[in-house]
Amino acid sequence: MKAAAFDYHRPANRAEALDMVGSLDNAKFLAGGQSLVAMLNMRYAIVDHLIDLNHVTDLAGIEMTGDRLRLGAMTRQRAVKDDAALAARAPIFAAALDYVGHFQTRNRGTVGGSLGHMDPSAELMALATLMDAEVEVQSKAQTRSLSIADYPMAYMTPAIEMDEMITGVTFALPGEGHGWGFHEHAQRHGDFAICGVAALMELAGGTISRTAITVFGIGMAPQRARAAEDMLASQTPGDDLYRAAADALDDLDYTTDAMASAAYRRRLAGVLTRRALADAARRAGGDRR
């Protein structure tokens, strides 16, 4: 199949892009095109107007200030993966992005495109959930910020208006010396995750001072494992503790689809949580491998 007919627009700057999306009916933004173009070709998505953002240069960029990381919406996924300063400060970004498609798609795929598409298996959405991100959106009338907890409205549907554009996302980075773990299971490398787990851990005096755990690929959107996080607080890391945390994932929502049953995803979530926590504790203890 091929895409239905549409009008192509190429704004030179942000103001032009916002004018277009505010005045044109049934318009979509084109970022890297790694998801939208396939959906257009299969006619899962049909638009009257396609607005190409690839010449809006001020939408790209990586900025770290203190414990905050801001990624511009048009920042390429490869640029995030290859950023040396970010890899030193928060290595989980490079590790997670290694699972995003293949290097060809990462060369084109963007941060904002992934967030806008909002696939429940998307690694960038998982990291945004893990680090309590704020998504910046802009229209001609206003600029606003959405907590990642309020961002998903429905399956693959973010809570943004038709005349709004994602301009960036800000992550709350973990403390210096934190540990991290990232594991996902897919049928083949580069396929959509059937289940994945991302974890951060900070230690103080040999006990856990802070943990964040996100499970993704299991439902409508990535989910924080709050019950597991709470039970880990002030505990000494160890295999028995990780098993107990893995047992505390029953309150998450698991979906059955063509790829896997809810029961299989629940089992995977437990296995991957144990692995991610063990890695996070090891790295927080000084082993940075």
- Per residue in 167-204, pLDDT (tens digit) is 999 999 999 999 999 999 999 988 999 999 999 999 99
Q: Which residues contact 18 (CB under 8 A, 6 or more apart)?
A: 138, 139, 140, 163, 165
* Structure token pair of residue 232: 């880990």
Q: Report d(CA 212, CA 130) in Å as an integer.
A: 6
1 within some domain: no
Quick one: pLDDT at residue 288?
66
270 within some domain: yes
126 within some domain: yes
- What CATH number has the domain bearing residue 16? 3.30.43.10
| Domain final residue pick, 134, 157, 172 | 172
* Residue 37: C-alpha distances to residues 7, 17, 109, 112, 198 (Å): 14, 19, 11, 15, 29
**Which structural domain, as residue segments, surrounds residue 28?**
7-52
184 within some domain: yes
254 and 221 part of one domain = yes
Q: Report d(CA 17, CA 12) in Å as an integer.
A: 8
Buried-exposed string 32-53: b where 16+ CB fall within 10 A, e elsewhere = bbbbbeebbeeeeeebebbbeb
157 and 76 part of one domain = yes
Quick one: pLDDT at residue 289?
66
* Structure token pair of residue 206: 């040999």
- What CATH number has the domain bearing residue 98? 3.30.465.10
pLDDT band for 90, please (50, 70, 90 cuts). Answer: very high
289 within some domain: no
115 and 190 part of one domain = no
| Domain final residue pick, 126, 144, 172 | 172
47 within some domain: yes
153 and 196 part of one domain = no
* Structure token pair of residue 200: 């951060």
Quick one: pLDDT at residue 23?
96
Pairing state of beta strands 27-30 and 49-52? parallel
Say yes or no to pLDDT of 154 above 90: no
Q: For the chain, what is the domain count?
A: 3
- What CATH number has the domain bearing residue 245? 3.30.390.50
Quick one: pLDDT at residue 285?
84
Residue among 139, 192, 168, 181 at smallest CA distance from 272: 181
Model confidence pLDDT, tens digit, residues 42-61 = 999 999 999 999 999 999 99
Quick one: pLDDT at residue 99?
94
| Domain final residue pick, 172, 190, 215 | 172
255 within some domain: yes
**Residue 219 burial (CB count, 10 A):** 17
224 and 275 part of one domain = yes
DSSP the chain: --PPP-EEE--SSHHHHHHHHHHSSSEEEESS-TTHHHHHHTTSS--SEEEE-TT-GGG--EEEETTEEEEETT-BHHHHHH-HHHHHH-THHHHHHTTSS-HHHHHH-BHHHHHHH--TT-HHHHHHHHTT-EEEEE-SS-EEEEETTT-EEETTEES--TT-EEEEEEEEPPPTT-EEEEEEE-SSTTSPPSEEEEEEEEEETTEEEEEEEEEESSSSS-EE-HHHHHHHTTPPP-HHHHHHHHHT-TTS-----SS--HHHHHHHHHHHHHHHHHHHHHHHTT---
76 and 134 part of one domain = yes
Buried-exposed string 224-250: b where 16+ CB fall within 10 A, e elsewhere = bbebbbebbeeeebeeebbeebbebbe
139 and 242 part of one domain = no
> What's the pTM?
0.95
Quick one: pLDDT at residue 236?
96
